[in-house]
Structure 1
């Protein structure tokens, strides 16, 4: 292993997408030629960018890399969070043993078995929104009518958010995921959402019901911890699945051959979901910080240096996925890192899968002639958001 080449040119994180579905071209080029390279961060930090599938998994599984928010630098514009420890309960930005304590309390709530038990309810929610969309008639914004409401209803029901309070929580959650607003505005939305969530926690303590938040009130977590866990789960449950459903529909509408395979039978649906997760990578990157000097991919990473992990590049790595830039639902399922890897692998991944397994086939069965209502280039993309997708997806049918 060698010390980092002082003459290695540091790049800024590539963000320009050549198509709505493909990551920046530069990421693919790096994955093949230089899977770890120097990255220049907007706050002046000099760290690293990792782009190969093998190195991404290596970093995410290595306990010498920290997820703590006070140690990291962000590869996009500074968020104002640098140097701030994660609030109590915000365990995705902590390391073991703190992370382990919170994760253990929640693992039982997100088992594959429990999520599959929710299938019937998720199918019912899907059906209700398709009914409403059909009654309204074409054209429709699929995001507003279908892809956003389904995960919103499901996560709110899981947490026990009363129906008359859901719109407020959803609006505040949307503000938190926007990359085009100031840190101060996002922080104000976070404080407001946390206050409302604390009120909900206190209501659950006083009158528990059959929901996840009520169950967690029987643990040793205090109100602040519970409010932050509820806030984190709500935010994660809203944005990610909604954008996978919308962007995935967009991708299938642009590839009739792949859509025909989805419609060919229920045995294909799981493969379709896994391939869309790989192909689209709506969470473009994760960030970790080295806790000590270490060797990675032939380079010497120094203690305190932040490593940006490109999930999008890893999921298009030709060393792991043959012909990676082609959407191929017949590809053997699995192997992607869209839900991360290691101890921080997404806790709600099975819930997301169930929602997609229900959503895609039901949508195309109800509207077999579904098509875009605008030219593909007119679909507004979420290039201004932390989670990639589409702001709107105008569709028509019949």
Structure 2
């Protein structure tokens, strides 16, 4: 049986990850945390795991889940008074079975693989249209990384095109609460969440009166054995699908293009062999994943990595660290688009596996090879601007030259 390690070095490493210098390149710190112990205790009492196998166990263990909403008042008594927290903690993202099972089943009946694959021609056309507008030096995030996924998920949900751009800032402000919850963060996140909710409430009311061929209309109509989404469930589901539908994909595209430009041999191999796109996207997800960590609460006593954990313990799995574990991936700090047996942790696992994973993969598989084929002299035109966040890893700007 292994003991939980509490060390000054581990505490220092975890503290460094809360600041921008540590977030710029967290991977050396992850490596050292893995070397110290499979499980270390953070200063706030959370138990941190960094190995691939242990991260997998955290995502799938039946005794691990989210803190039930009725217990949130003991942790954050005023959570329901904050739109940013209420919209997050009442969503399917924070639910446990049987509520999670029910909500996921209802949304899955509308957000199907068939509906996603039907978007392939439209996504390919969107990519070409965005590439047509690029010349000289541009910001990749604003030219392709953001507009592609926001228009894809916007079209899927039925959000009118002129309304979509405003959500880049709104969603970024709202999702700050995934990183840290402070009065300053809530001052920005609460009005953003409230604006998103008000917009979706008005749009949902329109779809009830005049349904269309879009996902919000399908969610309004979704029913199984007489069970339907309540208005509250519908609004939080729509907000989550929209936010996750472009925020993480924007970061997948941005992290991926920076990784390729900094590894020109891999970029050229994909340019020469666009058929490698599916495997390449898995490697880009592994190499610099948009979602770096997830948190769970132990419902009962259990063991992870041979370490006993008690009911009520909070466990944090650093997915970004697991994706660089040398016990699972040979030479893990090397970008290798031909890597075999690749299974990145980037979309989570178990019952909470990301619903939008097929859509994110499809967008990247179409966009990245098309970008490389269109612009043979593609290059960085300056230093990318890093988003000051660890849980959601990405860039605010990526200056590129397309020639």
With normalisation by structure 1, the TM-score equals: 0.89
Aligned to 1:368, the other structure's residue is in SS state coil
Aligned to 1:140, the other structure's residue is in SS state strand
**1:111–1:350 CA contact under 8 A, matched in 2:** no
Aligned to 1:383, the other structure's residue is in SS state coil
Question: In structure 1, how many angstroms separate the alpha carbons of the residues matched to 2:27 and 2:285?
Answer: 17
Q: Against the structure 1 CA distance between its residues 246 and 212, is the aligned structure 2 distance closer, same or farther, given a 3 Å change threshold? A: same
Q: Against the structure 1 CA distance between its residues 19 and 36, is the aligned structure 2 distance closer, same or farther, given a 3 Å change threshold? A: closer
Residue 253 of structure 1 corresponds to which residue in structure 2?
Answer: 261
Residue 152 of structure 1 corresponds to which residue in structure 2?
Answer: 150
1:227-270 Cα shifts (integer Å, max 9, x gaps): 11110011101111111111211111111100111012232111
**2:23–2:389 CA contact under 8 A, matched in 1:** no
Structure 2: runs of 5 or more not aligned: 223-227
- Alpha-carbon offset, residue 168 of structure 1: 3.3
Residue 96 of structure 1 corresponds to which residue in structure 2?
Answer: 97
Aligned to 1:227, the other structure's residue is in SS state helix
Question: In structure 2, how many angstroms separate the alpha carbons of the residues matched to 1:117 and 1:305?
Answer: 43
**1:151–1:242 CA contact under 8 A, matched in 2:** yes
**Does 16-25 or 116-125 show the bigger shift?**
16-25
- Alpha-carbon offset, residue 193 of structure 1: 1.0
- Alpha-carbon offset, residue 19 of structure 1: 9.2
- Alpha-carbon offset, residue 20 of structure 1: 8.3
**2:292–2:390 CA contact under 8 A, matched in 1:** no
- Alpha-carbon offset, residue 201 of structure 1: 0.8
Equivalent residue pairs, number: 383
Q: Against the structure 1 CA distance between its residues 182 and 329, is the aligned structure 2 distance closer, same or farther, given a 3 Å change threshold? A: same
Aligned to 1:217, the other structure's residue is in SS state helix
Question: In structure 2, how many angstroms separate the alpha carbons of the residues matched to 1:224 and 1:392?
Answer: 35
1:208 to 202, 208, 211: 211
**1:68–1:86 CA contact under 8 A, matched in 2:** no
**1:90–1:228 CA contact under 8 A, matched in 2:** yes
Alignment of 1:190-209 (within 5 A): 190-209=193-212
- Alpha-carbon offset, residue 382 of structure 1: 1.1
Q: Against the structure 1 CA distance between its residues 345 and 13, is the aligned structure 2 distance closer, same or farther, given a 3 Å change threshold? A: farther
1:185-211 Cα shifts (integer Å, max 9, x gaps): 202211121111111111110100000
Aligned to 1:177, the other structure's residue is in SS state helix
Alignment of 1:63-74 (within 5 A): 63-68=62-67, 70=69
Residue 340 of structure 1 corresponds to which residue in structure 2?
Answer: 348
Higher helix share: 2
Q: Against the structure 1 CA distance between its residues 50 and 237, is the aligned structure 2 distance closer, same or farther, given a 3 Å change threshold? A: same
Question: In structure 2, how many angstroms separate the alpha carbons of the residues matched to 1:187 and 1:101?
Answer: 28
Q: Against the structure 1 CA distance between its residues 18 and 318, is the aligned structure 2 distance closer, same or farther, given a 3 Å change threshold? A: farther
**2:378–2:401 CA contact under 8 A, matched in 1:** yes
Q: Against the structure 1 CA distance between its residues 305 and 14, is the aligned structure 2 distance closer, same or farther, given a 3 Å change threshold? A: farther
- Alpha-carbon offset, residue 386 of structure 1: 4.3
Question: In structure 2, how many angstroms separate the alpha carbons of the residues matched to 1:285 and 1:82?
Answer: 24
**Does 97-106 or 20-29 show the bigger shift?**
20-29
Alignment of 1:70-85 (within 5 A): 70=69
Question: In structure 1, how many angstroms separate the alpha carbons of the residues matched to 2:116 and 2:262?
Answer: 31
**2:47–2:314 CA contact under 8 A, matched in 1:** yes
1:284-318 Cα shifts (integer Å, max 9, x gaps): 10000111122222222121111111001100011
Question: In structure 1, how many angstroms separate the alpha carbons of the residues matched to 2:132 and 2:342?
Answer: 33
- Alpha-carbon offset, residue 38 of structure 1: 0.9
- Alpha-carbon offset, residue 338 of structure 1: 0.4
- Alpha-carbon offset, residue 8 of structure 1: 5.5
Aligned to 2:47, the other structure's residue is in SS state strand
Question: In structure 2, how many angstroms separate the alpha carbons of the residues matched to 1:121 and 1:89?
Answer: 33
Residue 75 of structure 1 corresponds to which residue in structure 2?
Answer: none
1:96-126 Cα shifts (integer Å, max 9, x gaps): 1100011111223444443222111100111
Residue 379 of structure 1 corresponds to which residue in structure 2?
Answer: 384
**1:17–1:24 CA contact under 8 A, matched in 2:** no
Q: Against the structure 1 CA distance between its residues 217 and 110, is the aligned structure 2 distance closer, same or farther, given a 3 Å change threshold? A: closer
2:289 to 281, 284, 287: 281
Counterpart check, 1:31 vs 2:7: no
Q: Against the structure 1 CA distance between its residues 379 and 19, is the aligned structure 2 distance closer, same or farther, given a 3 Å change threshold? A: farther
Q: Against the structure 1 CA distance between its residues 101 and 13, is the aligned structure 2 distance closer, same or farther, given a 3 Å change threshold? A: farther
Aligned to 1:167, the other structure's residue is in SS state coil
Residue 53 of structure 2 corresponds to which residue in structure 1?
Answer: 54
With normalisation by structure 2, the TM-score equals: 0.88
Residue 274 of structure 2 corresponds to which residue in structure 1?
Answer: 266
Question: In structure 2, how many angstroms separate the alpha carbons of the residues matched to 1:18 and 1:169?
Answer: 28
Counterpart check, 1:105 vs 2:110: no
Q: Against the structure 1 CA distance between its residues 271 and 114, is the aligned structure 2 distance closer, same or farther, given a 3 Å change threshold? A: same
Q: Against the structure 1 CA distance between its residues 130 and 209, is the aligned structure 2 distance closer, same or farther, given a 3 Å change threshold? A: same
**1:89–1:102 CA contact under 8 A, matched in 2:** no
